[in-house]
Structures are given as structure tokens and as C-alpha cells.
A and B are shown apart, each in its own frame.
Chain A
Amino acid sequence: MENKDKTILIVDDMEINRAILAEGFTDTYHIIEAENGKQAMETINAHRDIAAVLLDLIMPEMDGISVLRELNRTGKINHIPVFIITAADNEDTLTEAYELGAVDVISKPFIMNFIKSRITNIIELYGHRNELVEIVNEQIKKLSKINKSMIETLATLIEFRDCESGEHVRRICGLTRILLTSISDTYPEYYMDRVEIEKVVNASILHDVGKIAIPDGILNKPGRLTKEEFEIMKQHTVKGGEMLENIPNKIFDDDTFKYAIDICRHHHERWDGRGYPDGLAGDEITIWAQIVALADVYDALTSPRCYKAAFDHETALNMIYNGECGVFNPKVLEILRKNECNVKNEHDLVL
């Protein structure tokens, strides 16, 4: 098979050994030769299409084991098969080479027919594997796109019925990302890695999905709600959680889903236990529900609603710090203080 678009790198300080290997592969592969590990690393870093490396161990400048270590450090060992050229007389070194990710050993004196078959087979296997990895990565990207667009579709449904601005959920996402990242970086007990934070950000879109179940007359009432009406309004938290729990076949990523259920139910809880629906207090409320709660309050204050005008940024912050919108975790408020500028920018950006 013609593979001239693929390159084999032959690394050996002895020209005789390189010449034999080069002669064996030159009709099917493009060949590059290197006399030591240093040259080899330069070649590997400069070429993207190295299909295999044939690597001698004992060489001047930089030996084969050091090359393997470097390929390990950079992760390249996962994509490029490395064959060790050896006189097969030192078990310890070979063990180390295998541990560092070498795929196979080429023993001297070379038996070219075997070597050709083995190397060709493994190059093909790696080729297929690298292709598959690419395909899987593409699919994951597509899936997460679909995932996000489904979440956004659900959120749009609420916006249709709600007099809130359509940008509300987008701002909640931005505020949640800023505040959660900051608190995660500041307090070890609230640490979350970036991937998890993004899941929470996606989940935050759904925080008000339960409002679909609230009658129009209450949801869009221009004036103040009566006590009875407010009790019904409060049910959007419970309904939201229940709705998501009842979605068949879990169309979303599992973790995003769990975050979304928790956020729906608990984004009106308060630190002092005087929120709803469960009256959770302190860190009984998850940090992501606490953060989305604060983001929601800030955005509600700074946006015009059917029952009120918008407050400016400073007034909104003062109302939050003064406890006019319920009590928040002091650490969460501390994070808000630290990020006042970012929060304002995010809000203005999407306004």
C-alpha cells in the first residue's frame, strides 16, 4: 500500500542501522533520519505527520529514554507509536521503555520482513484509532451543542409566557459563571472544576422553568401579588424540579440535569432558612443554588418588570447587602463585592 504521505522517523546514531531500516520502508513511507534524541525531538516537533518513530536507546546528546520521557510529558506518545531499536540484551531498560509507552521492540540484527509487517500493522491501527478519537470528539461537540440548544428551547418557552426580558436567562448564565468561578477559586470548600462550573451555568438557564405551570393571571399580574397568589407563585420552584425529574429518557447530560433540578427547587432558599420551598439554611443549600439565587435577585432588581421599574447597579447592590432581598451567605456576598465591576459589565453587555 502506498503511504508516502506518512512519515517514519528513524533515530539511531549508527548510519548502518538507519540505512537498513530506511531501505526497508522507503518504497512505502517518507523517511526522516535523526542521529540522536535531540534531532529526533526537533523533527517530531516540526512535523505533524509522523506515523511512527523507530528509536535507538543508547545515543549521544539525548538518549532514547529521554526522548520517550519527553513524548510522555507532551502526551505525544498517545498518538505516535514508538518502536525501540535494541540488541535486546538489557531487560531493565526495555521494561522502562515499555512503561514509558513504547509499543514494540525491534531487535538487532533486524529481520526485515517481520519488522515491516509489525510496523505497518501498528501504523494502520494508530491511524484508525486517531481517526476514531477525532470522530468521537466531533460527536461529543455535537451532542453538547444539542444539549445546550434543548435547554435554551425550554427556557424560551418560559420567556414566551413571562413578561421578563428574553435576555434574563442569558444574563443569569453570565453572572453565575463569574460568581461561581470566583467563589470556587477563593474558598476551597466551594471548589468546582471548570467543566462542572459550565454544567451549572447551562443548568442555571432552567431555574424558572416551573413558571410554565403558573397561571397567566398570576405570572403576568402588573401589581403586587396577594398572599394566596404568592403561595401559588412560590410553587414554580417545586413544579420546576418535578417537571425536570419527569422528563423521560434524560435528554440532558446527567450532571447538568441534577444541577438543574436542584437549582429549580432551591434558587429561592435563603441563608437564614427563611426562603422557600423547603426552608433550607446555610450550606444545606448547595453553593450553585446559592449563586444562581444571588444572580437571579441581582438581575430582577436591575431589570424592569411588569410590576416595577429597574434599579441602577449601585442601588441594587445596596439592597442586596442590606438584606432587603433576604439573607445571603457572607462568603457569597464577599464574592459579589469582589466582582462588582465584572457583574455590572456582564449585565450591561447583555442589556
Chain B
Amino acid sequence: MSMIDKLKELGVNTDEGLKRFMGNAALYERMMGKLPANVRSQEVMKHFDEKDYQAALESTHTLKGVTGNLSVTPLYQAYSEAVRLLRENEPEKAREVVEAVLPLENEILNCIENDQ
């Protein structure tokens, strides 16, 4: 099974994502390959642990954009919700939302990394 098919099973809207890359599957996969490093370098949970909610807002905001553009829909939804909650001064609820999606996020990132 190709990486794209596996990601599809994990809820990634690969058809929409591929369309966004003008049908260039190689480029889509290459950019998907950059997602794990992008997500990890944002250190979202660390910001929440340190209660640095401005940094948490900036990193969730960045990940919202990237996951949206790659059509990693479950992560996009979670980070969108986290951004909204952080803006509404509900950092604890935002943290819960991010925490809840971590297992799936790991699964998706592992799937991408195993393919490379």
C-alpha cells in the first residue's frame, strides 16, 4: 500500500491535497515528507507545559496552516479548534484538544516517516 493510501485510511483527504498541488503527486509526497519535522519543531506541548500561551498560539496557528494545506484533515481540525480556544483565552481547553489528537498525529507522522 502506498503512503498516500495509508494516509487516506488515517483520515487525510489526499484527493483534495493532491488537487492543491495541481496533481503533482511527487511534490505532494515530498512536502508531506516534511510534515513530521515541521510538527515536532513547533514543540506545541512544551509551550503548553510552560504555560507560554503566546508561543502555543503561534505554533498551533502555523500547524493549522500547514496541515490544512496538506489536507491532513483531523490534525487541521484539531489545530483550528486549538487556535480558536487560545484566542478566546481558554488555554486549558486548547491543550485538551491538542492532547486528544496526539495519538492519531503520531500515527500519521510515523506512517510518513516509515515510508521514507
Contact = CB atoms under 8 A, between A and B. Distances in A.
Contacts of A24: 22
A110 interface: yes
Interface stretch (B66-74, B91-99, B106-114): B66-74
Given A17-B69, A109-B71, 17 more contacts: A13-B62, A14-B62, A14-B66, A16-B38, A16-B69, A17-B65, A17-B66, A19-B27, A24-B22, A58-B62, A87-B65, A87-B83, A89-B84, A108-B69, A109-B20, A109-B68, A109-B69
B6 interface: no
Chain B, interface residues (CB within 8 Å), range = 20 to 34
A196 interface: no
Given A14-B66, A89-B84, A112 B27 contact: no
A117 interface: no
A23 interface: yes
Chain B: interface secondary structure?
helix
Interface in B20-73: 20-22, 24, 27, 30-31, 34-35, 38, 58, 61-62, 64-66, 68-71
Contacts of A15: 31, 34
B87 interface: yes
Interface of B: 19-22, 24, 27, 30-31, 34-35, 38, 58, 61-62, 64-66, 68-71, 76, 80, 83-84, 87
A19 B31 contact: yes
Interface in A1-58: 13-17, 19-20, 23-24, 58
